[in-house]
């Protein structure tokens, strides 16, 4: 008699459980590495120094500083570098460009064949110099506006007197930038190596210049018909006894008169010959 093993018949549920177990075995066989990511850092906002309290002079480099008689002064290109992060807009306006006449005294020399000076006479002339006035305006990133004006002409330009508009614009910009940064020291572009009192004060009443005195003495010595006494009596009512006592204005008149006398003497000599 044959032996039979009675078993349980597989049902659909058994099949589904087997398949689920097989899938779980496959998933567990795969190694999963979890990487812990650092949280994203927010972008750092650039913090600008405080315009009103920062020591801007200490931030200038060596080539951005001009050492004047008054001390260290900022140069324009240094001010531009410091202010650049703050500037939103800027504008340069030419207020006016005019011509300023100035009376000058020119010395005219007469030379001989050897190139030596035979005679010298002064001549009054008028030179016309351009003068410019410029205003520079700056608006910063906070909406504040800074402005300043400057002028430039022959008397305050040194070697750049032929470019008054450019000089005035640079000065006005430097002043506006100094206001913006709170720098009290004058900029190098504002400095003028001239004595304002000499330029502005009239010098006609001052003592005659040494070259005037020397020239007057020389001409009078060569004029037989004209003495210093005659000269003094024709140019001033003051009682003076030497050429050194003349003023600049009086010496100028004396030279004009002496030059006329020289011309008369030459004409007489020409007629006699």
Q: Specify whether 167 is located in the same domain as 84.
A: yes
Mention every residue, 6+ apart, whose C-beta is less than 8 A from residue 261: 219, 223, 225, 226
Q: Give tens-digit pLDDT for 14-29.
A: 566 666 676 566 555 5
pTM: 0.52
Cα angle 166-167-168, degrees, rounded to a multiple of 5: 95
Q: Specify whether 116 is located in the same domain as 239.
A: no
Q: What's the confidence (pLDDT) of residue 197?
A: 45
Q: Is 14 exposed, middle or buried (0-12, 13-18, 19+ CB in 10 A)?
A: exposed
Domain membership flag for residue 11: no
Domain membership flag for residue 27: no
Domain boundary among the residues 158, 193, 228 is at 193
Confidence of residue 91 (pLDDT cuts 50, 70, 90): very high
Say how many domains are in the chain. Answer: 2
Q: Is 251 exposed, middle or buried (0-12, 13-18, 19+ CB in 10 A)?
A: buried
Rounded CA-CA distance 169/176 in Å is: 11
Rounded CA-CA distance 129/197 in Å is: 20
Average the pLDDT over each of 13-17, 92-96, 111-115, 169-173 and give the range with the smallest value: 13-17
Identify any residues that bridge with 174 across adjacent strands, giving them in sequence order. Answer: none
Domain membership flag for residue 203: no
Q: Residue 193: is its pLDDT beyond 60?
A: yes
Q: Specify whether 103 is located in the same domain as 168.
A: yes
* 223 in Cβ contact with 262 (< 8 Å): yes
Owning domain of residue 125: 56-193
Q: Specify whether 170 is located in the same domain as 93.
A: yes
Average the pLDDT over each of 6-10, 161-165, 216-220, 249-253 and give the range with the smallest value: 6-10
């Amino acid at each position: 008699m044959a032996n039979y093993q009675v078993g349980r018949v597989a049902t659909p549920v058994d099949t589904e459980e087997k398949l689920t177990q097989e899938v779980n075995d496959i998933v567990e066989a795969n190694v999963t590495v979890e990487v812990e990511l650092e949280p994203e850092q927010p972008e750092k906002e650039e913090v600008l120094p405080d315009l009103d309290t920062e020591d801007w002079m200490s931030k200038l480099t060596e080539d951005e500083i001009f050492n004047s008689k008054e001390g260290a002064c900022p140069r324009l290109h240094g001010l531009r570098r410091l202010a650049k992060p703050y500037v939103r807009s800027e504008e340069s306006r030419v207020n006016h460009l005019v011509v300023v006449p100035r009376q000058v005294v020119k010395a005219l020399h007469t030379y001989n064949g050897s190139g030596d000076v035979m005679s010298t006479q002064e001549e009054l002339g008028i030179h016309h110099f351009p003068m410019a006035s410029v205003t520079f305006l700056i608006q910063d990133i906070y909406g504040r506006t800074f402005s300043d004006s400057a002028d430039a002409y022959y008397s305050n330009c040194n070697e750049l007197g032929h470019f008054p508009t450019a000089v005035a614009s640079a000065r006005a910009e430097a002043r506006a930038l100094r206001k913006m940064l709170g720098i009290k020291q004058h900029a190098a572009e504002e400095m003028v190596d001239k004595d304002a009192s000499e330029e502005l004060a009239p010098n006609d009443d001052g003592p005659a210049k040494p070259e005037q005195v020397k020239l007057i003495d020389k001409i009078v010595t060569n004029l037989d018909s004209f003495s210093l006494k005659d000269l003094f009596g024709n140019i001033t009512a003051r009682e003076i006894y030497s050429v050194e006592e003349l003023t600049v204005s009086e010496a100028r008149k004396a030279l004009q008169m002496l030059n006329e006398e020289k011309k008369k003497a030459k004409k007489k000599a020409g007629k006699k010959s």
